Amino acid sequence: MNTKPFVSVVMSVYNGELFLKEAIDSILSQTYKKFEFIIIDDGSTDGSLNIINEYSDERIKILVNPKNEGLIFSLNKGIELATGDAICFLDSDDYISKGCIEEMTSLMEKYNADVSIIQMKYIREDENEESQSEGKLIKVLDSQDAIEESLYQRNFTCCAPAKLYKRSVIGEVRFPVGRISEDLATCHLFLDNADWIVYSDYYGYYYRQHATSIMHIFNPRRLDALKWARSIERFCAEKYPQICVAAYCRTFNVAVHLLLDLPDQGKVHDKYIHEIWNEVKRTRLKTLFNRKARIREKIAIILSFGGEKLLKMVWNSKVAIRKD
């Protein structure tokens, strides 16, 4: 990109009135001015659409789904509507720093990258902060190294936000409709389409964690994450065999987190424990002897040899390193 790229920011909203204004304001207050803001209201039944309609900024494009179609449908629709040279995503309960888009576009231009990635800061539901960071650590990676980094969850993860993608990188790739853990299904494909990816430890994206989130309570739909993790194993085996061990490590991580949230007993436990526990056992030795795996995974592996109950008891009591 020889000139400043025009950026499309895509956000889907469903009954998000509590934090929605903060999310919208964080985009409209950006120091970077060349952007459009595509907001898809996904059939909200609260005051979300009223909040959106309060804004008269010409950079905002509003699409209203007559009924709730789901996050993935809406994000894919946003991609189709985007006219920018580059695309980024914002969850409706998160927000970004004023210089976030400026930082991501500058990184993309300076390092001739197809994807720029910044650091994501996790905050509690009731928190609101914005700490400035200059981004002292810079990494320029090819596709294989970036996919490996995301699988080990070192500096960044397989999530769509906190990244700016050239339009060509997204291409025809779309999030899988009707599923969850959509980031895990697609992020490696975006990175695979890129020649160069640049990462900075600049904190610019604030991810709000909710105690009642579907990602913190066991739901059978979360088994989609295991499906995507296994698909990444196959993808790496075919295209990047050198990093297959990183894919096994990611599958182990996914299985452990599902296990930790699974009820200790009852019908739900009995129905899903075998699939989850088999994935723990299948991938734990490959991860244990992987020098690049994080300490927290290795602690979980050692505990797993004592059985499901020991792993859950110790990990959930926070004797082990905190969960992601």
Percent of the chain with pLDDT over 70: 92
- C-alpha 251/C-alpha 242 separation (Å) is 16
What pLDDT is attached to residue 318?
A: 54
Residue pLDDT, tens place only, 107-122: 999 999 999 999 999 8
With beta carbons less than 8 A apart as the criterion, state whether 207 and 122 touch: yes
Question: Tens of pLDDT along 166-220?
Answer: 999 999 999 998 888 888 999 999 999 999 999 999 999 999 987 655 555 788 8
pLDDT at residue 11, as a whole number: 98
All domains of the chain in start order, with CATH: 7-209 (3.90.550.10), 220-316 (no CATH)
Which residue shows structure tokens 């991860």? 287
| Residues in contact with 10: Cβ distance below 8 Å, sequence separation at least 6, in sequence order | 38, 40, 75, 78, 79, 82, 87, 88, 89, 90
Question: Using only C-alpha atoms, what is the Rg of the chain?
Answer: 20
Are 227 and 141 a contacting pair, CB within 8 Å? no
